[in-house]
Structure 1
Amino acid sequence: MGSSKKQTAVPVRTKVPSPEEVEKRNTVHINAETVTNVTSTDFPGFYPGEDHSWDIEKFRESVRVVFHQNDPYEAQFSLIGVDASIANAFRRIMIADIPTLAIEDIFMWNNTSVIQDEVLGHRLGLIPFTGGKEGLHNFLKWYKKGETPCDYNTVELELKVKCENNESAPADSKDPKELYHNAHVYAKDIKFVPKGRQAKYFSGENAIRPTNPDILVAKMRPGQEIDLTMHMHKGVGSDHAKFSPVATASYRLMPTITILEPILGRDAEKFQKCFPEGVIGLEKVTKEEAKKKGSGYEGHEGELKAVVLDAMRDTVSRECLRHDEFKDKVKLGRRRDHFIYLVESTGQWESDAIFLESIAHLKEKAKRFEKQVVNMVQ
């Protein structure tokens, strides 16, 4: 009888790319006339022998959020260590999926101004409002077409203004604001009419009001009048732009500037002017640098040299690549996994809370998708 040999599994060695190779792969190359290395390659099978399977622990170690500015109406932050598809998902959710309160129905009782009813209604619908966070986010519910308006799904506003002559106006005045009362109708003229339990959540500083009270709604002259009632409901930006919680939600890739050879003296000053203010700085060559062989600074002690101060300020205009004296001395690029967001809130949500809410929405979408996949394979 033949003898059988026991076979043992031979472990497969996984190649590990060098840090330099990882940095090269993770950089979009900005050339004088072209942009290269734009295709994502960090997925299994692209590089033979390398393991690029997704791992949650590895993801936890690499992902970071760093805030550069965090004001109620504007936030700027970096999201690092994610793919472009994830970064863009957050952007789209912030624009289209986070609910806000906006004017939906208008009951026009009287409008004798020069602005047509439809145009006036459109202007009113685009005015952003704010109020108590507890009431906006938790108390108010969704309104379904056809159901009876209630205190928990509808907010009522009214606008009643009439233009009249100002008897005490200076005789020589030509300013309509002095000659007439209510010559200009502003967002601050819109009054909130609380119903039921709304007074509990929207009173005092928490009252529902325009984010910017000085938004101009209409201009009138004596004898003209606007009298209308408005109903506000919750909605999302994918239905109408007036429900979007952001004025702007955008991102850009982190610029990289690598000085390959020393740029000194007048060339350094010229190089600095090729970039926005604060990107490139000028420093003097130190004694130690001038003594170090192969540094390129030998014999240039005390001269000005160009250094990178803050690459994030760069707009990647490629101006420096237009000059022959900087050819092969500088390399421009962008980090493909470093996204710099700019989020401008319209006022109903604080700017940083909009991003946090987009994360919660993406998690809910992922759970629903997982449930559908499970049901599909069963």
Structure 2
Amino acid sequence: MTTEVRKLDKAHYPQWYGNLTLAFGGLHEAEEERALWDELVEFARAFAAWDGDELIGTASGFAFRMTVPGGASVPANGVTMVSVADTHRRQGVLTAMMRRQLDEVRALGEPLSVLTASEAPIYGRFGYEAATRMVRACIDAHRVRVAAPEGTELVRVRRAGLLESLPACEAVYAALVPGRPGLFARQPGWERLGVLDPEADRAGFSALRVVLAERDGEVVGYTRFQVKPVWDAAGTPHGEVRVRALEALDPAAYAALLRHVLSLDLVETVELSRTPLDAPWQTLVSDVRRCRPTLREELYVRLVDVGAALAARTYQVPVDVVVEVRDDFCPWNAGRWQLRGGPEGAECVRTEDAADLALSVRELGGAYLGGTSLAEFAAAGRVRELRAGALGPASLGFGSQVAPFLAHGF
């Protein structure tokens, strides 16, 4: 077999998307969901792999701007829509597509590439590493109460229309973006992802509802959720709530929204489907054991240009370290890099000086947003300290006071 990877011709898009759908189970999407992805796909970043005249692989990307520690918004290629035909697995098709994609991202001058993985082990060999985590909670609404901070009573919560409220909700999200690593500045069209609500996908839940938090007439938070009525044979209600988003600009607004979803009538269980690792609900609730939190990795990060990527963010404490980087898939990154930086900025350049730390580009990606420390990787044997005392300051410097978070998939 000879695999040829080339830019996607729009004429082949229906076949390309059909192959993608088939690779993920073959279930057809709702019309409104398919229409949104048709609108968002970036043909300049889309590739197809061919075996002769047979389309056997798909891959694409989105031109994101992602917040990094320090608040800068950095270009990041969002890898998406990746699939290989089941007849051509383990024949180098994925490797060929990743090779082409990363070469093009480098040519565009974008220092980062990011993705979410359908299966965790897939992308490590291409230099990607999990950099954010999320917490899902399933809260017993009958037994858990919210300890509302001062000012919560001054927050008004009110219902609003899904589309009518969209501009106000987007303004809240946009205000939060610079303060949390991993968040994407939403480009036109992406705001519709949060209100996508195909009836066929509700699985017994209601249409998506919106509640706004207001103070002095200004929207300071919002939540979007669905309700599923459940009754047992005795007529006892065991309703479920699925919270798809809960964002707020201050603690009182957050607490008011959390208290609202936990106090809905006829509800026994409230699921917070996607929250940051440091989400305040964990401190506000009266009994975290009744919330059944579960943890999973989310956004994977790959440094396409080590020097530019490390210089684009800031560091919690002054850092002056030489790192020896291994990068088999993108060898232009391999070698020694001198990183000097702190809270005000950084520079990262090639050097011939002796290395203080040795690691691969995967560990740099995992630590890049501050969610996993270099010390944690070192404890797992994945970072080596070559100069005594170098690991501690570097690990602290790479950290973030705010846990990185991916607000939505792509």
Calculate the TM-score normalised by the size of structure 2: 0.21
Asked which structure has the greater CA Rg, the reply is 1
